[in-house]
Structures are given as C-alpha cells and as structure tokens.
Structure 1
C-alpha cells in the first residue's frame, strides 16, 4: 500500500508509505492520494487531515525520478497538471483543514506537497528544498508560486536557483513552517492543533481557508469577498449557536449548519 490512513477523533492521518524509497511521489502515490482526498473531503466523519511520511528520515524526498526518463515536453506538462489536479490544488482548496507534519526530508515534490497544505509543522530534523535545477528542471507542482507566496521573492528565488536545502529552524524563521517539534511528538502536536480547530464552526473555518488563499494570491476581490462571506455567516445556525454560547458563557456546540 502506498498510503496508510488512520481516523481518530475526526482527524484523518494520511501517511505516505514508501519508506524504502524515501516516500518519493510516483504515479501510484499521486493516484492514491487523490482518491484519499476525495474520500476524506466527502466523509462527514473527517473534520481535518494530517499528511505525513512513514519513518523518521523523510516526509517526501521528491518525485520518483525514474518516471521522468521517457517523458518529452508534452508528457512533462501532463505529469505536472495531473499532480496539480489530483492532489496539490485539491489540498490547497479543500474546505477542511489539511496540515503537513514534515518528518525529515521535504524536497522537490515533497516540499511542494507540504506547501500545498494549509500550514506546516516540522520535526527538528526536517529539511526543505527545491533542487529541480540539478536535474535541468524546475518545480512542476506549484513550487515557484507557493514558495514565493510563503517566504517572499528574494529567498524563494535563491532557494530555487541554487537548489539548496534549509533546516527546520530556518524554515520556521522564513515562515515556511509554523512550529518545530521533536520528531517523537510531531504527530501529537499536529493532533493538538487540529483538535482545537475542529472545535470551531466548520463553515467559518471553510470560508476562512478560501479567503486566506485569495489573499495569498493577491485577489483584487478579496475584501469584497470577505464582506460577502461575513454576511453569509450571519445566516448560519453556527453563528446563532456561537453568539448564544458566548453570551451564556458556555462552550459552543457547532453543527456545521
């Protein structure tokens, strides 16, 4: 199996299970990830998702380079588009929170997979990089765009042009990851964060994800869309429950309605 899945208390853990290949992304992993995402986004029992890699060496050390040897320009473009459609864009635009728990190397497609998630936490041994220039290639799963959005043009340009790796603490300082934890506690810390988020109003969470994504892309309609979505929240049962719970000094019981 290329993936392992475990649903606990509304949190689905998706583990890429190719430790012997440093969890490299091949066609099967992309297909299986796409299917797993479809399932979790349609399953009401899943409130949020963690994506991680098996073992302690790698989150995803890159794409499976052996699949590149026979590809021409049209095939390469199709490969990139397939990954974006099945996995990367689907994660970014998901209405449920999806975070990356980066345990080790996140290089090339692995860094891009982590960046497509709504945010990232990392183990102390994590390493990030986009080394595609060493293969005569460029990032093909959104790396040039998302890395620039996350850490700014200058540093993104340097990392992509040099192919250099950075460690977890530098990644945190740059804003690429939110938190760094010992590898033994990484998943538990991810669960703590998502447990907190899972207690919030699901419709408000989904709208917030969409609007922050728009802001990251400098959408000129972002402010107007926020006003519209803000108004829509007032028509929800969750808003009525949230306000009532606040005034009654009790914990809100949101239903996602």
Structure 2
C-alpha cells in the first residue's frame, strides 16, 4: 500500500493521509515525492478547492526517517531531493489544512507548519527535537517556528528539543484550534467544506498575499494586497458574491 494515500471525501476536497504506521509515519524521500505528485495533481484539478493533510490516530508524523539519515554524509544530504520537494509543497496554491493527532515532531512539525490552518487534537504533541540527534531542523523549522511563536519561545523549543502539548501550542499561536482527538478529522473536513464553498480565486489570492507579504516590508506587502484586491473585481465570482449578498441568497461560486 502507498506511503501516502489520496482520498476524495467530496468532489472539492482532497485528503492526503501519511501511511507508514510501522515507522510512525517517518518522512523519507518516497513520502516527499508522493506528496509532491499528489499536490501537483490536486493543484491542477479545477474541482479541488481545499486539501487536508493528516496521519494516523496516534501519530501525525514523528519526524524524518532517522534510520535512512544515519548513514548519510553532508554530500549525500546535499544531493537529496528533500529541498526541492518542500519547495514544491510551499508552492501549492490552494488552502491546506493539517489535521494533527498524536506526535508532530521534527519533519512532521515542519510539514504541519506548511499548512495554512492546523487543527490539533487534545493529545497532540509538537516539537523540533533534531538537536537531540546531533542535527538541526532542515525543512523550515528554524524559520517558520519563530514566525509563528516568536524568537524566544522558538529558541527554547529548538535548543532543548522539548515537546509541547496541543494546548501549549495553541497558546503560542502554533495551531489554529484544538479539539478532542476524535473530532480532529471531522473538524478539518468541516473547515475544508466551508472553504470549498467560497470563491477559490479569492482563497488563492489571500494565501498568496499572506505568504508572499510576510517577507516584504509593510508598504510592499500592502501594495501586493491592493493589486490582488483590484484584480478580483474582474472575476465572475466577485459579481456573483456581491449580487447574492444584495439579493439575500446563497452565492454559487464557480471559480471564474
């Protein structure tokens, strides 16, 4: 069976499920390649408006595959396709929800941080424990974590390798919301369904403005936002949304 399963809970939602329970969903080059392939297909599919990434009931992903990395040299790691894979994941244009139960550690935490929304179960644990095996995060942990929780909280997690609970992660701003473990996937599906019912072009532009604007000076970010805002007035969805509002009826967004 594939290490990453693609499911279609509805016509407009794609669900990617990490499926290596024997190694606690450790992320290796095969998993990354499958994620890239599936995301490329979902990005090109006009019917798909939102994607959920999840793991198992007890482990989202416990990190990278340490067994595979233990024999690698610096040259081996430099030649790894991992960096290109994560770049492709970052480039995915549609909203992504991470549905996290259990451990999201190391590469698993980094994968979750690639999402736009994180729904965590009450029993979830987050952390970047790479320092405990002699390395450091290599898929964005030193960059995304400080942006999410601030320098000092991030430094404590990165330099100690300690884990934090879902409630602690929520308090730090690392997750969007915390729900009972049994409700993680249903809640993610509910959010995905709500997003899928909204105009997909606007959703993509919101995501692009937030991600690209985060690394720009404020004036440049505001200019980026304004350009995207103006361009949306040439979409049929804008006309439909505003007419539906004025006519007090549900809007029917076509992604046009």
What count of residue pairs does the alignment treat as equivalent? 253
TM-score normalised to the size of structure 2?
Answer: 0.95
Q: RMSD over aligned Cα, in angstroms?
A: 1.3
Partner of 1:63: 64
The CA distance in 2 between the partners of 1:77 and 1:110, in whole Å, is: 20
Alignment partner of 1:201 is 2:203: no
TM-score normalised to the size of structure 1?
Answer: 0.94
Alignment partner of 1:181 is 2:183: no
1:191-245 C-alpha deviation (Å, 9 max, x unpaired): 1111111111111100000111123334552111111111101111111111111
Structure 1 residue runs of 5 or longer lacking an equivalent are none
Alignment partner of 1:115 is 2:113: yes
Q: Aligned with 1:250: secondary structure?
A: coil
Alignment partner of 1:6 is 2:4: no
State the 1:84 CA deviation.
3.5
Query: Does the aligned pair in 2 maintain the 1:62–1:110 contact within 8 Å?
Result: yes
1:153-203 C-alpha deviation (Å, 9 max, x unpaired): 110111000000000000001111111111211111001111111111111
Q: Aligned with 1:234: secondary structure?
A: helix
Query: Does the aligned pair in 1 maintain the 2:25–2:59 contact within 8 Å?
Result: yes
Partner of 1:153: 151
Partner of 1:77: 78
State the 1:13 CA deviation.
1.1
The CA distance in 2 between the partners of 1:41 and 1:14, in whole Å, is: 13
The CA distance in 1 between the partners of 2:83 and 2:212, in whole Å, is: 17
Partner of 1:53: 55
